[in-house]
Amino acid sequence: MSATLFQVRIGNTGTTISCAAEQTILSASIAAGLDYPYGCASGNCGACISQLESGQVAMLPRNDTSLSPAQAAAGQTLACRAQPRSDVAITWLGRGRR
């Protein structure tokens, strides 16, 4: 049985990638060669915090310190925890570079 694939548009790069329903947007992005910001990749640090512009995602468990309920209510998500449930548009919220 083939996996359900969704299209994920990354606003920062203008790239659209395929992401399986059981895959996180972060892992699909990295596999596609995108330098998506991340740190712990386990829902603890918040380095991959992103704005979900459109579409729906399911979230793997996370700590509230990495994404507060208020942030989630405002449409923010964690790419390392978010699995698509529809085609999605998402933008990472740059935490700055140096």
Our finding on whether 63 is near another protein (CB under 8 A) is yes
DSSP letter for 39, please: S
Q: Does 97 bind another protein (CB under 8 A)?
A: yes
Note whether 61 binds another protein by CB under 8 A. Answer: yes
Residues 72-91, interacting with another protein (CB under 8 A): 81
Q: Does 95 bind another protein (CB under 8 A)?
A: yes
Pick the piece of the chain touching another protein (CB under 8 A) from 1-9, 10-18, 42-50, 68-76.
42-50
Helices (H) and strands (E) in the chain, counts: 2, 7
- Residues with Cβ within 8 Å of 43's Cβ and at least 6 positions away in sequence, in order, are 60, 61, 62, 63, 66, 67, 78, 80, 81
Q: Is 45 in the site for another protein (CB under 8 A)?
A: yes
